[in-house]
Copies of this chain bind each other. A is one copy, B any other.
Amino acid sequence: MLTIHPPKRFLFGPGPTQVEPRVYEAMSQPVVGYLDPYFFEVADQVKKGLQECFGTTNEMTLAISGTGSSGMETAVSNFVPEGSKFAVIVGGFFAERLCEMGRRHGANIVRLEKAWGETAGDDEVREFILRERPATVAYVHAETSTGALQSGNAICEAAHEVGALVIADCVTSLGGVKIGVDDTGIDIAYSCTQKGLSCPPGLSPFTASALAVERLKTRARPNTVWYLDLVLLNDYYSAAHKYHHTAPISNFYALREGLALIAEEGVEARWARHLENHERLVARMESLGLSMHVAQGYRIPHLNTVRVPEGVDDLAVRKRLLADEGIEIAGGFGPLAGKIFRIGLMGPLATADNTRFFLDAFAKAVR
């Protein structure tokens, strides 16, 4: 008799979020071998679907065999050499994590600091990068801890002027909002499967530009982290199919199916749907007298941060939502602990009906 009986939850938090039944069905199809031509067919389809969502034609577009943080570690360990200068735009928790990984890999970290929820303006990033002249720049496109969406255009332009590569953390943005890797000029981007792609966690979508791949070839010594070495991973996923590790086949099935669902809807229609429901949420929050944490124009559409009103206990609200409706949302942490609610309207939950269901329950719980 099956031992797994999860409680019924509506995952309106920052992720993992609700998964489509078809994705679960795909994930439970029989496993094949890690060198089976069928697996590489699936991996190729995953690559195409990811290129579409990332907005890139990068040949090196793949899924790393770990969760989103393993994508961050792949970016840092391959592209931030020991002793190099690593410039990070810091305005939230995941930018801090980038700094921490950089430190561990022996980089010299320089930071452009913003308050949690603010983004960096074009002039200040330009001034920062031209002054510091780093080897690598990183920023968080959609900062889950704050709800802020950081534009990358000025960062990429300045970085390329000084010969630096740009890493964009797209853990929360991929599939939820436009990234435009090629148009923006991002060299390296990584994400996860359990947010904007509506799949279970377990893989980290990853892409690297031709320029980044060139840089990889000039490394003085191989990546310290064998498991995340892009040179070896590329030998496995590209035509040579040289064995590296046993890929998590079932997670690839799930991701392939999730990407097929996105292609069927059309990725731009999906972004538009997220935006529409974001606007519904903002309007309703304002009608309740609540305010958004991030300034208009800088908000992640599918991950909303709403300020906890004066005198309201955010934990009590979250407990009521969970107990009464099985709805899970998240609170803030770090400098935003107790100050914001973090509400995801992603994938199958970002519909007019589901948004209304959530907003009605939230209005009741927050009173």
By a beta-carbon cutoff of 8 Å, the part of chain A in contact with chain B is: 2-9, 11, 13, 15-16, 19, 22, 24-34, 36, 38, 42, 45, 65-70, 72-73, 77, 97, 100-101, 104-106, 192, 194, 200-202, 222-228, 244-251, 253-254, 256-257, 260, 328
Distance of A207 Cα from B77 Cα, bound (Å): 25
A68 touches B245 (CB 8 A): yes
Q: Which residues of chain B come closer than 8 Å to A36, judged between CB atoms?
A: 7, 9, 328
B28 touches A73 (CB 8 A): no
A202 touches B248 (CB 8 A): yes
A295 to chain B, nearest CB (A): 27
> Known: A31-B16, A31-B194, A33-B9. Is A67-B67 also a contact (CB below 8 A)?
no
Distance of A227 Cα from B33 Cα, bound (Å): 26
A225 touches B73 (CB 8 A): yes
Picked from B31, B65, B104, B225, the residue with its CB within 8 Å of the CB of A200 is B31
Known: A16-B246, A67-B247. 6 other contacts (CB 8 A): A25-B28, A33-B328, A100-B226, A194-B246, A202-B202, A225-B225
> Known: A11-B31, A68-B245. Is A2-B257 also a contact (CB below 8 A)?
yes
A19 touches B33 (CB 8 A): no
> Known: A202-B251, A250-B27. Is A257-B194 also a contact (CB below 8 A)?
no
B249 touches A201 (CB 8 A): yes
> Known: A15-B246, A192-B246, A246-B194. Is A6-B29 also a contact (CB below 8 A)?
yes
Distance of A29 Cα from B104 Cα, bound (Å): 37
Distance of A3 Cα from B263 Cα, bound (Å): 12
A69 touches B3 (CB 8 A): no
Q: Which residues of chain B come closer than 8 Å to A29, judged between CB atoms?
A: 2, 4-6
A250 touches B202 (CB 8 A): yes
Q: Name the residue of chain B whose CB is nearest to the CB of A97.
A: B226
B73 touches A201 (CB 8 A): no
Q: Which residues of chain B come closer than 8 Å to A72, judged between CB atoms?
A: 227
B38 touches A200 (CB 8 A): no
Q: Name the residue of chain B whose CB is nearest to the CB of A254.
A: B250
Q: Which residues of chain B come closer than 8 Å to A247, judged between CB atoms?
A: 67, 201
Picked from B31, B200, B225, the residue with its CB within 8 Å of the CB of A19 is B31
Q: Name the residue of chain B whose CB is nearest to the CB of A15.
A: B246
A30 touches B3 (CB 8 A): no
20 A-B contacts (beta carbon < 8 Å) = A2-B22, A6-B30, A8-B30, A9-B36, A11-B31, A13-B33, A15-B246, A31-B201, A33-B328, A34-B201, A65-B66, A65-B67, A70-B227, A97-B226, A100-B226, A101-B226, A200-B248, A225-B225, A248-B248, A250-B250
Picked from B6, B26, B65, B228, the residue with its CB within 8 Å of the CB of A4 is B26
Q: Which 6 A-B pairs have the closest CB atoms?
A: A202-B248, A24-B28, A200-B250, A4-B26, A69-B245, A73-B227
Distance of A100 Cα from B228 Cα, bound (Å): 14
Distance of A277 Cα from B244 Cα, bound (Å): 30
> Known: A250-B200, A250-B202. Is A32-B5 also a contact (CB below 8 A)?
no
